[in-house]
Amino acid sequence: MATPTVREFTPELTEIAHGLRFPEGPIAMPDGSVVLVEMFGPRLTRVRPDGSTETIAEIPGGPNGAAVGPDGAFYVCNNGGSFTPVDLGGMVFPGGFNRDAYIGGRIQRVDPHDGTLQGGSDRRAADGGAVGIR
């Protein structure tokens, strides 16, 4: 039996934007931009083809996924801020569970025109923060 040939492949990567705080859930938009969540931003961000960024909405907790719904709104998965950010050489990664910061997981609707969050209220409503469906 012949020994298989192993070929190393190193793709050429081009940085489009920098300074994002653990981006996840990219959505390719018709205008050429990419909308994503920043888990440790915490926010919903548009990255334009030239690399410039725009905050669409501040998302209290830990947004970690996004999609566009049939109504054109953004729907964000939110882990409730359950992870502690860990800095490793200038890059941020999720660390251990942070019980004190956890506000409960949820799916949130973000209006694409004005960035407002819609849905029920956060279990820590006194903080004036997040709204979402729980």
Q: Which residue has the tokens 């012949």?
A: 2
Please compute Rg for the chain using Cα positions: 18
Q: Which helix (H) or strand (E) holds 49?
A: none
Determine, yes or no, domain membership for 120.
yes
CA–CA distance, 122 with 100 (Å, rounded to integer): 15
Measure the CA angle with vertex 104, ends 28 and 100; round to 5°: 115
Determine, yes or no, domain membership for 77.
yes
Number of structural domains in the chain: 1
Instruction: Supply the pTM of this predicted model.
Output: 0.79
Local structure of residue 98 (DSSP, 8 states): -
Determine, yes or no, domain membership for 29.
yes
pLDDT tens, position by position, 42-100: 999 999 999 999 999 999 999 999 999 999 999 999 999 989 999 998 888 999 998 88
Cβ(117)–Cβ(132) below 8 Å: yes
Determine, yes or no, domain membership for 106.
yes
